[in-house]
């Protein structure tokens, strides 16, 4: 969320920056609501100050003066009450407006609004060239007997998956490998967190109110709860409404959780297989850092996600997303795109984003330095990695001419087998 004064400061250039991501800043409404809020605060403060003076005057006033002073005190009480009500109304309307304004994209991002406008940063590994026609992961999984989409549809409808036997074991192996990598080598603390959270928590990281249609909502009694779309939500909000010692940052957190997304508006895209499901699992990485070091920390986080890819020997590339293609809360995003031979294309497997202080302002994650300086933390998150899409890449990049799939060496100790063979 933004400080409205910063948005209206010409030096911020908010109108131009937001226009790069397709958002038209309603400057007139912002100015009107900010003025109304400030006016109500000023009137209330002035009335309280006068009320104190009148209360003091009443004590020493002559009887003929006291009645007028008491009447004025009653009048001022009404003025204060009215000003407070106006303040609450203007503040609520201002907050509603601010909650719908996305983060300002970094100037370094390229122009554009689609993945075609992304800027290539680097590639790693050589895309395989097979002496046979490579299959996609659905055909591979069905021939191996590890993927059963028809029964998943019977259980829950489209965009769900059932993995069986060694497929389920491979899914578990990938998660264990990723957690061990990030906790033992990259310094992340592992958490087990709720997958149902409240509205305040969802609002803190920017999923609400704008993207309520993309979320699964439920409840317990009169409690409204949402299924998390990513562990970023609970991990970041662990420190909501807290003040952190600046010198103790960065904090590095990870969790392996199920994730739930309605994928509203995406029907017709990636409906085949494991690429875009309503329910999937992911190892998420979250860093809470000194705001002055957020861009440096983004490179650190990107390196950790890339290390996971390299450890699995998966060919990929890194791209810098265009300003109009980054998420609502992000100011800068890298995508890691894995090579999928079955599609003859690179496909996104991880997004790594710097949110600046945007989420911290919404969630109330403040910092305090030893010298007394106060501010807001910066938050970052990235997929490190999604289990389903990683499994897709392992199947497609590891496929062999005889229909088997050779596993990356890093997964063998976790899976307990070196290859998958046709059922």
225 alpha carbon, distance to own chain's centre: 18
> Annotated catalytic residue: which of 348, 353, 362, 396?
348
DSSP assignment letter at 248 = G
Check 294, 329, 351, 353 and give the catalytic one. 351
φ and ψ at 226, to 5 degrees?
-125, 140
How much is the average pLDDT of 257-276?
Answer: 79
Task: Single out the catalytic residue among 43, 72, 176, 276.
Answer: 276
**What are 144-157's pLDDT values in tens digits?**
999 999 999 999 99
Model confidence pLDDT, tens digit, residues 356-378: 999 999 999 999 999 999 999 99
**351: β partners:** 335
DSSP string, 156-191: H-SS---B-THHHHHHHHHHHHHHHHHHHTS-PEE-
On whether 329 is known to bind a ligand per the annotation, the reply is no
Is 374 catalytic? The answer is: no
Contact 351, 316 (CB under 8 A): no
DSSP for 212-229, please give it: GGGS-EEEETTEEEEE-S
> What's the token pair of residue 81?
């009450």
For 73-124, give the DSSP string: HHHHHHHHHHHHHHHHHHHHHHHHHHHTSPPPPPTTSPS-SSGGG-EEEEEE
Q: Is 295 a catalytic residue?
A: no
User: Is 389 marked active-site?
Assistant: yes
Q: Any binding-site annotation on 261?
A: yes
The pLDDT, as a whole number, for residue 55 is 87
Residue 383 annotated as lining a ligand binding site: yes
What is this structure's pTM? 0.93
Within 312-387, strands assigned E span 316-320, 332-340, 345-354, 365-368, 374-376, 378-386
Note the pLDDT tens digit of each residue in 87-131. 999 999 999 999 999 999 999 999 999 999 999 999 999 998 999
For the residues 403-414, what does the mean pLDDT come to?
A: 98
The pLDDT confidence band at residue 61, using thresholds 50, 70 and 90, is confident
Cβ-Cβ contacts under 8 Å for 247 (sequence gap 6 or more): 369, 370
Collapsing DSSP to helix, strand or coil, 243 comes out as: strand
396 labelled ligand-binding: no
Is 224 annotated to bind ligand? no
Pairing type for strands 251-260 and 189-190 reads parallel
Known binder of ligand: residue 146? no
Helix (H, G, I), strand (E, B) or coil at 283: strand
Task: Look at residue 327 in the predicted model and tell me its pLDDT.
Answer: 97
d(CA 182, CA 271): 31
Residue 88 a catalytic site member: no
**The length of the chain, given as a count of residues:** 423
Catalytic residue among 159, 287, 317, 389: 389
Is 231 marked as binding a ligand? Answer: yes
Is position 351 annotated in a ligand binding site? yes
pLDDT of amino acid 268 = 55
Whether 348 sits among the annotated catalytic residues: the reply is yes
């Amino acid at each position: 969320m933004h400080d409205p004064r910063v948005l209206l400061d010409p030096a911020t250039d908010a109108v131009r920056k937001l226009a790069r991501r397709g958002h038209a800043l309603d400057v007139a409404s912002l100015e009107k609501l900010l003025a109304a809020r400030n006016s109500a605060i000023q009137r209330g403060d002035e009335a309280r100050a006068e009320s104190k003076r009148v209360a003091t005057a009443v004590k020493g006033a002559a009887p003929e003066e006291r009645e007028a002073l008491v009447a004025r005190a009653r009048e001022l009480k009404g003025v204060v009450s009215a000003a407070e009500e106006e303040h609450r109304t203007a503040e609520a309307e201002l907050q509603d407006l601010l909650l719908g304004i996305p983060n300002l994209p970094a100037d370094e991002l390229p122009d554009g609004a689609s993945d075609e406008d992304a800027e290539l940063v680097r590639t790693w590994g050589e895309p395989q060239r097979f002496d046979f026609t490579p299959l996609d992961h659905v055909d591979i999984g069905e021939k191996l007997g590890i993927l059963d989409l028809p029964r998943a549809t019977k259980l829950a409808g489209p965009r769900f998956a059932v993995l069986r036997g060694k497929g389920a074991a491979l899914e578990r192996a990938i998660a264990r490998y990723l957690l061990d990598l990030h906790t033992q080598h990259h310094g992340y603390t592992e958490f087990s967190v709720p997958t149902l959270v409240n509205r305040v928590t969802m609002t803190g990281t920017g999923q609400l109110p704008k993207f309520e249609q993309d979320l699964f909502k439920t409840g317990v009694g009169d409690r409204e709860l949402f299924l998390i779309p990513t562990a970023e939500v609970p991990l970041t909000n662990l420190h909501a409404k807290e003040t952190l010692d600046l010198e103790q940052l960065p904090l590095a957190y990870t969790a392996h959780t199920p994730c739930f997304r309605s994928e509203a508006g995406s029907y017709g895209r990636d409906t085949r297989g494991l690429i875009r499901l309503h329910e999937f699992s992911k190892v998420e990485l979250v860093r809470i850092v000194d705001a002055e070091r957020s861009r440096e920390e983004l490179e650190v986080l990107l390196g950790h996600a890339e290390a996971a890819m390299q450890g699995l020997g998966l060919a990929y590339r890194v791209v810098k997303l265009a300003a109009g293609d980054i998420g609502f809360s992000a100011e800068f995003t890298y995508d890691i795109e894995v090579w999928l031979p079955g599609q003859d294309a690179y496909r996104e497997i991880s997004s790594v984003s710097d949110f600046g202080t945007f989420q911290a302002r919404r969630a109330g994650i403040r910092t305090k330095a030893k010298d007394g300086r106060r501010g807001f933390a910066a938050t970052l998150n990235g997929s490190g990695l999604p289990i389903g899409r990683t499994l897709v890449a392992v199947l497609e990049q590891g496929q062999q001419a005889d229909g088997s799939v050779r596993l990356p060496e890093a997964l063998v100790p976790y899976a307990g087998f070196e290859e998958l063979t046709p059922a």
